[in-house]
Structure 1
């Protein structure tokens, strides 16, 4: 396996192209490095933990509330 140098913006990522950092607006596009579907969360290579309900926990400890759209049954009413 080829080892790539770490990106200064995202030191955990060895992917090419480098995944977005935890501070980037597209941080959810980073690759999953650990997945725990039975617990409802995944760890991305940028250190972000994403939850099944679309909430996020950033590496600095701050959280982002779930950001799903309205339920489909609510749209049908």
Structure 2
């Protein structure tokens, strides 16, 4: 999918969220990355092969201490 240089990380790469945006729809809560990954505002994802990645927001230090 990626046609620019340097190419974006692939959907299987650990840093796949670093790919460039192809489409951004904040009013609907999602973005499509250059590598075909759909990223949602809750940090969930759908990979190009249809696998779903559950939301993975970082846990704040305050929440850990409680």
| TM-score, normalised by the number of residues in structure 1 | 0.76
What does residue 16 of structure 1 align with? 5
Any idea what SS the aligned residue of 2:31 has? Answer: strand
**Contiguous gaps of at least 5 residues in structure 2:** none
Higher normalized contact order (CA 8 Å, seq sep 6+, divided by chain length) = 2
Q: Computing the radius of gyration over CA atoms, which structure comes out larger, 1 or 2?
A: 1
Write the distance in 2 (CA, Å) between the matches of 1:43 and 1:58: 10
4+ long deviations beyond 3 Å: 71-77
Pairing of 1:1-77 with structure 2 (within 5 A): 12-70=1-59, 74=63
Aligned residues: 66
- The Cα RMSD (Å) is 1.6
Write the distance in 1 (CA, Å) between the matches of 2:27 and 2:64: 29
Write the distance in 2 (CA, Å) between the matches of 1:41 and 1:73: 28
